[in-house]
Amino acid sequence: MDKIKWVFNEMPKSEDKYLPLMETERIREVKAFHESFPQYTVTPLARLDGMAKRLGLGGLFVKDESWRFGLNAFKVLGGSFAMARYIAGETGKRIADMTYDYMTGEQLLKDFGQATFFTATDGNHGRGVAWAARKLGQKAVVHMPKDTVQMRYDNVAREGATVTIDNLNYDDCVRVAAKEAAETEHGIVLQDTAWEGYEEAPSWIMQGYGTLILEAAEQLRALEVNRPSHVFVQAGVGCLAGAVVGFFANLFPTEPPKFIVMEAEKAACLYEGACRKDGKPAVVGGDLETIMAGLACGEPNIISWDILRNHADAFLACPDWASAKGMRMLAAPVKGDPAVTSGESGAVGMGVVNALMTDPDYAELKEKLGLDSYSNVLLISTEGDTDPVKYREIVWDGKNG
C-alpha cells in the first residue's frame, strides 16, 4: 500500500501581500452577505469525542459542509459571493447593498442586465455558480473534465447551466472556460484558481469560503475551544486551503494553529512546490487520476500558494486509501459520536489523522507536528455524497482499500 508522503515547509517567506484578504472583519462582511439568503443556516460542527479519545487526541471536530444551501458541498459560498462582488463593482454598489432580495429582484436586471459566467469544475464549484446564476437571472456555462460522473453533470445541468463534459483534464477545462469568456459579450470567467492577470475573482471566491471558517471558529468557541491546535485542510488548486490558513493566521497572529495541507498524491502540486524549497509553485500534469475528484488539480492558485508558503507547516500527498478510510470512519464513528456523510474529497483529513495517530510509519510526522492528548484538531468535510454510487461502493462495499 502506498504511503502518505510529507514535507515540512522550509520555503523562504514572501511579502505576504494576500494575507489581508482573509482579515476577520472582511470575513464578517462576507458572512453577513450569506446570512441574507433564506437558504442560509450554520452547518454543523461534529464533535467526535469518542474518536478523539480512541486516537489519543484532546478533541476532534469536523465541519460538515454537506448541509450547505441544500447543495451537498461548500463551494456555493465562493461562487455566490464572487458573483455579488462583480455585480457590485459594475453597478457602483457596496457589498452590503447586495442582499438576496435585491439580487433576485427585478431591480438587479434593470441595474446590471444579464451576463454569462463561465467556469470549469468537477462538480461542486460549477453547481454553486450555476445555482447562483439561476437565482440571479444570469447565465452560466460550465466545462467539466473527462471522467466526470453523470450524477455531478446532472446536478449542474439541473440548475439551468449550459454544461459539457470535455475530453480534457481540469486545468485544460479552465483554459477553455477563460477563452470562451474572453470571446463572449458580457462574459465573465468565475474560477476558483488564479494566475497572473486573473486574481480579483479568485480572491473573492476565497473570501466567500470565509463564511464556513468563521462559523467554525465561532462554534469552537461555543464549545470552549478558543483555538484549534491543528487544522488539516485539503487542497486541489488550494483556494480553500489558502482561505482557511489565511483566516486563522489573521485570527491568531501570535500563536496560529499548526496547518497541514493535504492533496491527492496524483495531483499534489502544492506538495511538489514545497519539496523544491524555493518558494516557486510547481505544476503536475497528466490525467490526475484519483477518487478525490474535487482535488484533481495540477496547477496551484497563485494567491493561495503565496499564503500557504508563508503560513503552512506541512504538505502531504495522500493515496486514495486515506480518503476511503476517512469516509468509512466518519460514516460509522465511535458509539456516541455523530455520523458524518463525507465524500471522497471531504474525508481525507479523517483518514490522515487516523494514520498519523495509529500507524508507527508516521510516528516521526506525528511527533514533529506535536499531535498528542492535548491537541484539538479541526477537519473540514467539504462535501457529502455528491456521487452516491461511488460513496456506497467505498463505504458499503470496501472499495479503494
Active site positions, annotated? 75, 122
**Radius of gyration, alpha carbons of the chain:** 20
Burial class (CB in 10 A: 0-12, 13-18, 19+), 383: buried
Residue 383 φ then ψ, to 5°: -155, 160
Are 200 and 130 in contact, with CB atoms under 8 Å apart? no
DSSP assignment string, 172-200: HHHHHHHHHHHTSTTEEE--S--BTTB-H
Scored b (16 or more CB within 10 A) or e, 223-245 reads eebebbbbbbbbbbbbbbbbbbb
3-state secondary structure 56-107: CCCEEEEEEHHHHHHCCECCHHHHHHHHHHHHHHHHCCCHHHCCHHHHCCHH
Cα 233 to the chain's mean position, in Å? 8
CA–CA gap between residue 222 and residue 232 (Å, rounded):
20
Q: What's at 15, amino acid-wise?
A: E
Q: Between 24-35 and 239-251, two packed helices, what is the crossing angle to 10 degrees?
A: 120
Contacts within 8 Å (CB) and 24+ apart, 134-137: 134/159, 134/160, 134/161, 135/103, 135/104, 136/83, 136/87, 136/103, 136/104, 136/108, 137/104, 137/108, 137/109
Sign of CA dihedral 302, 80, 258, 320: negative
Asked if 73 and 382 touch (Cβ cutoff 8 Å), the reply is yes
Cα(346)–Cα(30) distance, rounded to whole angstroms?
A: 23
List CB contacts of 207: < 8 A, sequence separation 6 or more. Answer: 21, 22, 26, 27, 30, 78, 81, 243
Cell of 18: 494576500
Phi, psi angle pair for 202, to nearest 5°? -60, -35
